[in-house]
């Protein structure tokens, strides 16, 4: 069949007119060149494809021919009021303007016989003599929303919407995948605000810290005549009952008796990834003593394969009272 208009518009072959409008509106807003200044050439191509797909599938005659004969059938279809052969796609911006009028980007098609005014236009033409290299082609003009519009108005984009994403230290140690269900309002094909739910996937990377931001562009609420807000999730660390985080290091507090502090002891730990770690203490543990276990801290995001340290801080438990005999034994043991 050549070009698959249904795939381009992301609808199935039983799509209704309402389905087509809804899909066109969403895709056209996403891929309009003025909304993609950093990838404008790619956006222009996709925008033209989306517009052409909508033009064919929304027209019962064109759609019927396309369903029966595919792209080749449309090539032989004479344009309205013409005796020549070949489907000639409409100006992509004209279709866009039919949906949005003076669009959220602050521009609109001037329509036949009307001047574009002083604003500049960016024009492009597809390779291969026509859109998709088959149909006869007409130029499509995209006017920058900063030019050719009264007052040089630009669409307003609301500030991003931020939401905390609480994560356990275990998740930030090993990484995890979170599925977030969001509810928001969107503008449908008729310009009405309707509720919508969506599932967002967040891949939490090992070593991410509190304050790390994950941005989903244009996933905030939509409003007429403005751009949708971005949705930002901000990593927040849940308190842990054993470990505290200090940069890439982990800190834990360990209590030992005075006898163990002097005579040596063994500390058994469970790491954040579930390993059993046994540490033998041969040194005299004085108040404030800290044992550093290298490479047992959090992953270093900017240094793949590297980790911080685990710092064990000891608290010596002194007895509250001793008998006379215990005091004498302690003095003899200390050589006094």
User: pLDDT tens digits, residue range 268-308?
Assistant: 999 999 999 998 888 888 888 899 999 999 999 888 889 99
Which pLDDT value is given to residue 227?
A: 83
Measured CA to CA, the distance from residue 70 to residue 56 in angstroms comes to: 11
Which pLDDT value is given to residue 156?
A: 78
Which pLDDT value is given to residue 251?
A: 96
Give the contacts of 56 (CB within 8 A, at least 6 positions apart): 5, 62, 63, 66, 74, 87
Its pTM stands at: 0.53
Measured CA to CA, the distance from residue 241 to residue 235 in angstroms comes to: 19
* Region 89-94 average pLDDT: 85
User: Could you count the other beta carbons within 10 Å of the beta carbon of residue 232?
Assistant: 18
* Region 5-19 average pLDDT: 90
Q: pLDDT above 90 covers what percent of the chain?
A: 31
Better pLDDT: 19 or 127: 19
Specify the pairing of strand 140-143 against strand 121-124: antiparallel
Measured CA to CA, the distance from residue 180 to residue 199 in angstroms comes to: 6
Confidence of residue 4 (pLDDT cuts 50, 70, 90): confident
User: Could you count the other beta carbons within 10 Å of the beta carbon of residue 312?
Assistant: 20
Residue 152 is given by DSSP the state G
Confidence of residue 221 (pLDDT cuts 50, 70, 90): confident
pLDDT higher than threshold 70 for residue 128: no
**Of 299, 149, 291, 119, which is closest to residue 209 (Cα–Cα)?**
299
pLDDT higher than threshold 60 for residue 105: no
* Region 223-227 average pLDDT: 80
Three-class DSSP category at 137:
coil
Which pLDDT value is given to residue 165?
A: 93
pLDDT higher than threshold 80 for residue 138: no
């Amino acid at each position: 069949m050549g070009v698959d208009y249904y795939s381009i518009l992301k609808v199935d072959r039983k799509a209704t007119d309402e389905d087509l409008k809804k899909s066109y509106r969403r895709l056209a807003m996403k891929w309009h060149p003025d909304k993609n200044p950093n990838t404008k050439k790619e956006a222009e191509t996709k925008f033209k494809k989306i517009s052409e797909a909508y033009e064919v599938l929304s027209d019962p005659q064109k759609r019927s021919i396309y369903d029966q004969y595919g792209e080749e059938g449309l090539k032989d279809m004479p344009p309205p009021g013409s005796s020549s052969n070949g489907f000639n796609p409409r100006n992509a911006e004209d279709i866009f303007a039919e949906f949005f009028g003076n669009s959220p980007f602050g521009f609109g098609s001037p329509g036949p016989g009307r001047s574009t005014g002083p604003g500049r236009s960016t024009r492009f033409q597809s390779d291969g003599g026509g859109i998709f290299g088959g149909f006869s082609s007409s130029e499509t003009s995209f006017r920058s929303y900063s030019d050719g519009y009264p007052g040089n108005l630009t669409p307003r984009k609301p500030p991003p919407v931020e939401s905390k994403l609480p994560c356990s230290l275990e998740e930030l140690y090993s990484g995890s995948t979170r599925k977030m269900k969001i509810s928001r309002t969107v503008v449908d094909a008729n310009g009405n605000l309707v509720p919508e739910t969506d599932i967002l996937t967040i891949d939490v990377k090992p070593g991410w810290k509190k304050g790390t931001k994950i941005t989903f562009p244009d996933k905030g609420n939509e409003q007429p005549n403005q751009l949708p807000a971005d949705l930002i999730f901000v990593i927040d660390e849940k308190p842990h009952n054993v470990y505290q985080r200090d940069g890439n290091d982990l800190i834990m507090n360990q209590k030992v008796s005075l006898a163990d502090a002097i005579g040596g002891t063994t500390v058994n730990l469970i790491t954040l990834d579930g390993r059993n770690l046994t540490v033998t203490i041969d040194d005299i543990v004085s108040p404030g003593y800290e044992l550093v276990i290298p490479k047992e801290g959090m992953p270093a995001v900017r240094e793949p394969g590297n980790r911080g340290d685990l710092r064990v801080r000891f608290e010596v438990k002194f007895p509250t009272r001793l008998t006379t005999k215990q005091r004498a034994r302690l003095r003899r043991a200390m050589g006094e």
